[in-house]
A and B are shown apart, each in its own frame.
Chain A
């Protein structure tokens, strides 16, 4: 029996290794302390009134991110006051993608008047823990007691091209469900995006 359990643990570890590093639905997410475009360090713990967070791995250069920036702003404006602020994180290595430097983040945030925090994952420490694969890549976290539980991973909606043609606003549906005390109707989705740039 002991040997069986041990084998089972090995298998589980192997499965975890194969399917990556990175959060699955129901996992506890870690907090971080990253530099915002205003120069201040930001952690999720700073948001005492938040019920959760819309963490979006983002960047400056990716056309798919650009296509979604206005929708990211809209989601923050809709849900920050209800307890679900957006936190955007740029994890790209600027030496691999110069457009994604901290200085350019400041410029992009100013040009687009981001109402949300836009943080620089300097040294690329946070994205592998979350398992972000692309930009934009959303991780919706729900506060439960002192934990941040991952409740939705994936895309903002089902139409990058045209916000008015969206049939399923995955992220909005997921936030609405959490606000109503339910589980998101769809918890994982996929979308085309830019890879996270590593040197």
Chain B
């Protein structure tokens, strides 16, 4: 299927971007790649000196939407250094065009965004973190083997202090 292939290509492109470089140009609406858990997994266990901030959210989740600006703050302040922010949308695939893309472009989200479309959450929730009940928002902050998981709304200060303490490790 060509659409699927396009998604795959876009997924690879954005994931590469997440892995290696931040966007230099300010695109208004960058396409959001759609991945299954196998596609997301490599970005939950990178072993280098970068701190990865991975937030699980959805446009329909009110507390998630509240904290998105905090992640944007982090991306703005640290994104050019050894901190990478990835917003993993758990929006329903049929809301991709009607909700997710308008949200990303409407709020001019600059952090990397992917959509995780993998219904077998009973499997992958534990893979992200065994303590996760499955409620969102949830955030994984890690550097190498130092992993911190939060099943709650984070503040900019909490994000910052965790990032700084991981950066110093």
Contacts and interface: CB of A to CB of B under 8 A. Distances in A.
Interface of A: 62-63, 67, 97, 133-134, 154-155, 158-162, 165, 167-168, 170, 189-196
A170 B123 CA distance: 13
A170 B119 CA distance: 14
Nearest to A131: B133
Nearest to A97: B62
9 contacts: A62-B60, A97-B62, A133-B133, A133-B134, A160-B121, A190-B126, A191-B134, A192-B136, A194-B61
A189 B122 contact: yes
A134 B121 CA distance: 14
B132 interface: yes
B121 A191 contact: yes
A159 B134 contact: no
A155 B63 CA distance: 22
Contacts of A67: 92
Nearest to A165: B119
B92 A63 contact: yes
Majority secondary structure, A binding face: loop
Interface string B132-163: 11111100000000000000000000000000
Contacts of B123: 158
B119 A158 contact: yes
Contacts of B98: none
A51 B120 CA distance: 30
Given A134-B133, A190-B126, A193-B134, A160 B119 contact: yes
Contacts of A155: 121-122, 134
B31 interface: no
A64 B122 CA distance: 14
Contact of B120 (A133, A134, A159, A195): A159
Interface in B44-66: 56, 58, 60-63
A134 B134 contact: yes
B93 interface: yes
A173 B168 CA distance: 49
B125 interface: yes
A162 B92 contact: no
Interface string B2-31: 000000000000000000000000000000
B90 interface: yes
B119 A159 contact: yes
Given A161-B93, A162-B119, A190 B136 contact: no
A156 to B, nearest CB: 11
